[in-house]
Chain A
Amino acid sequence: MYPYYEQDWSVLPPENNRRFNPAFNMATIRQAFTEAVERVRMPTPTRLRDLIRQIRAARTAAEERAVVNKECAYIRSTFREEDSVWRCRNIAKLLYIHMLGYPAHFGQLECLKLTASTRFTDKRIGYLGAMLLLDERQDVHLLITNCLKNDLNSSTQFVVGLALCTLGAIASPEMARDLASEVERLMKSPNTYIRKKATLCAFRVIRRVPELMEIFLPATRSLLSEKNHGILITGVTLITEMCENSSDTLMHFKKDSGNREIVPNLVRILKNLILGGYSPEHDVSGVSDPFLQVKILRLLRILGHNDPDASEAMNDILAQVATNTETSKNVGNTILYETVLSIMDIRSEGGLRVLAVNILGRFLLNSDKNIRYVALNTLLRTVHADTSAVQRHRTTILECLKDPDVSIRRRAMELSFALINAQNIRTMTKELLLFLEKADAEFKAQCSSGMILAAERYSPNSRWHLDTQLSVLIAAGNYVRDDVVSSTIQLVSSSPVPEQTYITNRFWESLQVPNHCEDKQPLLQVAVWAIGEYGDLFMYGANEDEFERPTESDLIAVYHKFLTSAQVSTTSKQYALVSLAKLSTRLQQCVEEIQALITSFGSHLNVDLQQRGVEFTQLFGSYKHLRPPLLEKMPAMQISRISSQNGESGGSFDDNSPDVIENGIEIGNSTHPIIESNMNTMGDNTNILLDLLGSTDLSTGANDLAMATDLSNAVHKKNTRNANNDEPVSNNQDLLDLLDLDMSAPTATPVMGVNLATDHSSAANMNNMLGGLDLGGFGGINPMPNNIPTNGNDLTSMLGGLNIGGGAPSHVMPPIGGDVNSGSLLGELNPTTASNNVTMPPQGPKLTALDKNGLLVQLVPVPGSDCMKIFMTTTNSSDNTLEQYLLQAAVQKSFKLQMLTPSGSVLPPGGVITQEMRVVATSNAVLRMRLRIQYTLDGQQLVEQTEVSGFPEQQPSHE
């Protein structure tokens, strides 16, 4: 245990190594003793200067660390020994070490001891250390309060100064409260050195604890009548802080500030500064005390804000400052800048405002980049208040787009967007396009989106708009955000036919440029979309602009090229595949080639592309007859701003297939990546039936997998039946006519068209499917029903859901999302199916649960393999709006009931709410269901209870 006494450990020769050697021990002790005495008598720790030299001499980080660690260990030991003689030097060294990034917290208490010392040198270093090591996050922070309090009462002004300075730097709320009265006392000191410091301390105290403002108010009274600039500037700073902090104080200062009103007082000080003679003490390159001037201008701004009288009183002086300030140096511009801000912020005269904007215009031409930057920034702030004045400097601002400095370019770009209007859109776009081409990657996305928005708002004609959109896509390449893709597609789709032909040709041309496919994929996506959509116009339509048209095989060759290119993203390939499928109904010769190309994707490694390949291949085989109607042109998409029209556009939906939905979803999809993942397949696909299944599958998660399987079975059944019947479906219109559906619900009909086209015997299946759709919508993005109060149908809620999940899709989903009259699918469907025996499902009788006061609650049970789905539909045929609609259901114990989210909770007149329930039987029993329906009518809560039976028999699930 004690190796010292062990033989083997001894350094002495064996004959001397005895366990106890008094002589040896005495010698050692004596030596140690003298050493200790020496150390106490002449303790010469390394001087700060030497330490810094040593550290700087270290060649490697490790070497430096070694030096620092050694010194730190030594400093710690002196702290432990309470060495007060060299404490000051050691703390100074520690502060240097601290700056190098090493821990120095062990010096905190020593700093406190130093501040308590009577020597000024100790105090000076001690307070310096406290400011560096003792901010309010440190535990020992509050211990310094007492020390500060003592020193605030010191008779030496510099000791008071040190304490005030420390308080100003590290005051915490507690400390501020404790010392506020001391500070207030010092603010009235006749000593200007102390007074100015105390005033700024008060500023700091108010910052930390605004409630303490009151106690300083009287002391501010005399600050502005001083001559000393130190007191003036600190006083103005304090008053500014007080006025910014509370409107009461602001009023207080406006009314009464000592012997004079504050505004004339400040105006007088400012006037003295600019008109007074040269004062060498405060002169900065020809400007008299710019620091004070700026502070006063800022306080004037606060005082004149929304105050016509105060503004009136300062108009003249602001004009004087604006015209009299020397602008060759930064100092002068500093003051002008502050003046401009004040002029813009108060109720100043029109002429003064023009003067201010002109100053900024001059700033824009300044050779100093800092001044240019400040000018752009300020113009950006004022552009909304005074556009025409800023417009005059447009060319200068556009020049700044070419500035070498990124910050300036960014500001110039933002400002340019703010300046675009219907008159200058052409020139501005031209300039911005030039900028966009050369811009850094970070600008491209923002700039392209901004340009698209501007074009949307101000485009003079659709040809120009289309050209601009194309130019942006080309210039920004892969940096384009998805919203640009969707808005371009939307724009093309809503353009007149000649424009569609034109732009498709332009797209084709742009695809011919080498590398465009890989470097500009958003362009590629839009281009293939347009070629697929308008393939017939593009290849065989009127060719007014005399474009060179490719042969069909050329076209397919290009598709082949980028469908097989490794540089083309999956998303672009998805677009291309859909486009190719569309082309198969638009081209005249090359259908086999297309089929071959599509079929080759049936074994693609990417699941999505493979699915597309397989699905589209089906459309070339036994379901050939479905292809033309399924792949028909999609209707024009409208912009939400003009979408309040309802019935008017109904006709245009007659001849279309699922594309409305696809389209809506596609846009929502591309704008919002979150949805994209869920709705991936749904996004760009044409085969709506299979697609919807895919999406249900994806978005509803494992829980609904069974459901999806179910649906696919149903669809399969339908398809088979359809094939067996061998009933060629040439036109959806026939079927729609057959079913006598109401065409006034434009969004609903197309979907129904599809569903009905494939099956007219199983409305239950259709319900089932729409239920699935609904789930897809909900499962994916969880919409808030409140936001879509008027839609009661599954389809709408799904799309509404997309809408909501999408954030800003207002422009993409005009005919559907949240539109009151856009149609309630089930609402339309159910009455129709009820009145039309054609679609009455044999296996799904409709059970009426409640029919009272115009409220009709119906249940459609659909037995499935493992559970029975019950679709509840509530329609409101009364004239009142029912709110907070809530359906509760109970079943016998031998059943398990699961209720899914209802489509909404508000029932306007004619509105519909749907909800799906799933019932699983655990034993053989006949299902009965008790329903409790709760709603609010005119603020009054009503409850209805009812019992429903007559459900089809269900086998226990474990079977």
Chain B
Amino acid sequence: MMLFMLLFSRQGKLRLQKWYMAYPDKTKKKITRELVTTILARKPKMCSFLEWKDCKIVYKRYASLYFCCAIEQNDNELLTLEIIHRYVELLDKYFGSVCELDIIFNFEKAYFILDELLIGGEIQETSKKNVLKAIASQDLLQEDEAVEGTLRDIGLL
């Protein structure tokens, strides 16, 4: 099971955090700080895995963003890399060649996509198409509501 996932920039700015374990806020901040500094200090030649406390850290850099996941001891590190990659692909499909700014300005969408890929730290859907379809339908629901709201505002409904 994935314990948490962090996205942060090369400058060490947190861009996304998803916790599947309940840690106190202080611990969360401490973990984030520790991992960000450790990972940023690692050289590109090094492998993507870290042994950290009692879990394994798997991270990968995509352009200016680091994707970092903590998994349990008996989880497959290589598969976690695939999950990260799948998430990046989904973001890319959704935003259309995604960049860090997309994730900054639409962080809620990034969360929504992650939530359609993973639940409780486990993968729920292995088809990209299904994930994107679910996101698109929910976006459509929101848009409908927005249109409805506007119409009501101007008195047409």
Q: Which residues of B contact A99 (CB under 8 A)?
A: 14-17, 107
Query: Is B119 touching A164 in the complex (CB atoms < 8 A)?
Result: yes
| A331 lies within 8 A of B82 (CB) | yes
A contact residues around B82 at 8 Å (CB): 284, 290-291, 330-331, 334
Is A204's CB under 8 angstroms from B47's CB? Answer: no
Q: Are B48 and A370 in contact (CB under 8 A)?
A: yes
- Known A-B contacts A196-B125, A200-B120, A407-B46; the reply to A120 vs B145 at CB < 8 A is yes
Minimum Cβ distance to chain A for residue B108 (Å) = 6
Which of the listed residues A124, A172, A338 has the most CB atoms from chain B within 10 Å of its own CB?
A124
Option from B47, B81, B128, B134 in Cβ contact (under 8 Å) with A407: B47
> Are B81 and A196 in contact (CB-based, < 8 A)?
no
- Name the B residues within 8 Å of A96 (CB-CB): 107
CB pair A370 B127 closer than 8 Å: no
* In the bound complex, CA of A636 to CA of B52 (Å): 45
Question: Nearest Cβ distance between residue B44 and chain A, in whole angstroms?
Answer: 10
Of B105, B115, B130, B145, the residue contacting A165 (CB under 8 A) is B115
A373 interface residue per 8 A CB criterion:
yes
B78 contacts across to A, CB distance below 8 A: 330, 333-334, 337, 370-371, 374
Stretch at the interface among B18-26, B61-69, B90-98: B18-26
Stretch from A230-238, A688-696, A925-933 forming part of the interface with B: A230-238
B124 to A294, Cβ gap below 8 A? no
Whether A230 contacts B124 by the Cβ 8 Å rule is yes
Interface residues of A in 144-177 (CB under 8 A from B): 156, 158, 161, 164-165, 168-172
Interface membership of chain A positions 335-376, coded 1 if the CB is closer than 8 angstroms to chain B and 0 otherwise: 001100000000000000000000000000000011111100
Residues of A within 8 A of B22 (CB): 135-137, 170, 172
Question: Given known contacts A96-B107, A135-B22, A136-B22, is B126 in contact with A200 (CB within 8 Å)?
Answer: no
Interface string of A392-422 (1 = CB under 8 A from B): 0000000000001111100000000000000
B123 interface residue per 8 A CB criterion: yes
Interchain CB contact under 8 A, B46 and A289: no
CB closest residue in chain A, given B21: A135
List which A266-312 residues lie within 8 A (CB) of chain B: 281-282, 284, 289-292, 294, 298
A119 interfacial contact with B, CB 8 Å: yes
Q: Find the B residue at minimum CB distance from A238.
A: B122
On chain A, the residues within 8 Å of B15 by CB distance are: 99
Contact, CB under 8 Å: A282 / B126? yes
List chain B residues, Cβ under 8 A from A137. Answer: 22-25
How far apart are the CA atoms of A804 and B69 in the complex, in Å?
Answer: 43
User: Any chain B CB within 8 A of the CB of A463?
Assistant: no
Complex interface: chain B residues within 8 A of A49 (CB): 105
Closest chain A residue to B29, Cβ basis: A101
A121 touching B14, Cβ below 8 Å: no
A819-845: CB near B (< 8 Å → 1, else 0) gives 000000000000000000000000000
CB of B124 within 8 A of CB of A200, answer: yes
**Chain B residue nearest in CB terms to A136:** B22
Residue A116 is within 8 A (CB to CB) of chain B in the complex: no
CA A212 to CA B86, docked complex, whole Å: 32
Complexed CA–CA distance, A408 and B50 (Å): 11
**Among A132, A168, A229, A290, contact of B79 (Cβ-Cβ < 8 Å):** A290
The contact of B145 among A121, A233, A281, A404, by CB within 8 Å, is A121
A161 to B145, CA, bound (A): 18
CB of A626 closer than 8 Å to a CB of B: no
**Residue interface bits A76-102, CB-to-B below 8 A is 1, else 0:** 000000000000000010011001110
**CB < 8 Å: which of B19, B119, B123 contacts A204?**
B119
**By CB atoms of chain A within 10 A, which of B15, B111, B122, B146 has the most?**
B122
* Chain B residues near A132 (CB-CB < 8 A): 17
Interface: B104 (CB within 8 A): yes
A282 CB contacts on chain B under 8 angstroms:
126-127
A169 in contact with B126 given A99-B16, A120-B145, A291-B82 (CB within 8 Å) = no
Least distance between A100 CB and chain B CB atoms (Å): 8
Q: Which of A119, A120, A135 contacts B138 (CB 8 A)?
A: A120
1/0 per position for A527-556, CB-CB distance to B under 8 A? 000000000000000000000000000000
In the complex, what residue of chain B is closest to A170 when comparing beta carbons? B22
Q: Which of chain B's residues has its CB closest to A125's CB?
A: B108
The reply to whether A168 and B119 contact each other, CB–CB distance below 8 Å, is yes
Task: Report B72-104 residues with CB < 8 Å from chain A CB.
Answer: 76-79, 81-83, 86, 104
Contact B1–A406 (Cβ < 8 Å): no
A291: which of B19, B77, B83 is its contact (CB, 8 Å)? B83
Partner of A121, one of B127, B128, B137, B142: B142
- Decide if A201 touches B119 in the complex (CB within 8 Å): yes
Q: In the bound complex, how far is the Cα of B143 from the Cα of A120, in angstroms?
A: 10
In the complex, chain B residues whose CB is within 8 Å of the CB of A233? 123-126
Measured between beta carbons, the chain B residues less than 8 angstroms from A407 are 46-47, 49-51
Q: Which residues of B contact A124 (CB under 8 A)?
A: 108, 112, 138, 142
Tell me whether B120 and A204 are in contact (CB under 8 A): yes
Task: Report yes or no: A369 in contact with B122, Cβ–Cβ below 8 A.
Answer: no
**Does B53 sit at the interface, judged by CB under 8 A?**
no
Assembled-state Cα–Cα distance A101/B145 (Å): 32
Q: Which residue of B78, B115, B137 has the most chain A CB atoms within 10 A of its CB atom?
A: B78
A284 to B14, CA, bound (A): 29
Interface status of A672 (Cβ within 8 A of chain B): no
Cβ of A197 within 8 Å of any chain B Cβ, yes or no, is yes
B157 at interface by CB-CB < 8 Å: no
Q: Which of A405-448 contact B (CB under 8 A)?
A: 405-408
Q: Shortest Cβ distance from B151 into chain A, in angstroms?
A: 14
Closest CB of chain B to A40's CB: distance in Å? Answer: 14
Q: Which residue of the partner chain A has the closest CB to B115? A: A165
Q: Return the contact of A234 from the options B16, B49, B122 (Cβ within 8 A).
A: B122
Q: How far is the CB of A931 from chain B (nearest CB, A)?
A: 54
The distance from the CB of A633 to the nearest CB of chain B, in whole angstroms, is 48
Given known A193-B134, A291-B82, contact A158–B141 (CB-CB < 8 A): yes
Q: Which chain A residues in 205-247 approach chain B with CB under 8 Å?
A: 207, 229-230, 233-234, 237
Q: Do A95 and B108 contact each other (CB < 8 Å), given the known contacts A124-B142, A203-B122, A373-B47?
A: yes
- Are A158's CB and B108's CB within 8 A? no
Contact between B49 and A330, CB atoms less than 8 A apart: no
> Is A36 engaged at the interface, CB distance under 8 Å to the other chain?
no
Chain B residue with the shortest CB-CB distance to A406:
B46
B102 to chain A, nearest CB (A): 12
How far apart are the CA atoms of A158 and B142 in the complex, in Å? 11
Q: B residues within 8 A CB of A135?
A: 19, 22-23
Q: Is A900 positioned at the interface, with any CB of B under 8 Å from its CB? A: no
Residues of A with C-beta under 8 A to B50: 407
20 A-B contact pairs sorted by A residue (CB < 8 Å): A52-B104, A99-B15, A99-B17, A124-B138, A124-B142, A125-B108, A128-B111, A131-B111, A169-B19, A169-B20, A229-B127, A281-B130, A282-B127, A284-B82, A331-B82, A370-B49, A370-B78, A371-B78, A404-B43, A407-B47
Given contacts A137-B24, A169-B115, A230-B124, 20 further A-B contacts (CB under 8 A): A56-B104, A95-B108, A99-B16, A119-B145, A120-B141, A121-B141, A121-B142, A128-B115, A135-B23, A136-B22, A161-B134, A165-B115, A169-B20, A201-B119, A282-B126, A330-B82, A331-B82, A334-B78, A370-B47, A404-B45
Q: Which residues of B contact A (CB under 8 A)?
A: 1, 14-20, 22-25, 29, 43, 45-51, 76-79, 81-83, 86, 104-105, 107-108, 111-112, 115, 119-120, 122-130, 134, 137-138, 141-142, 145-146
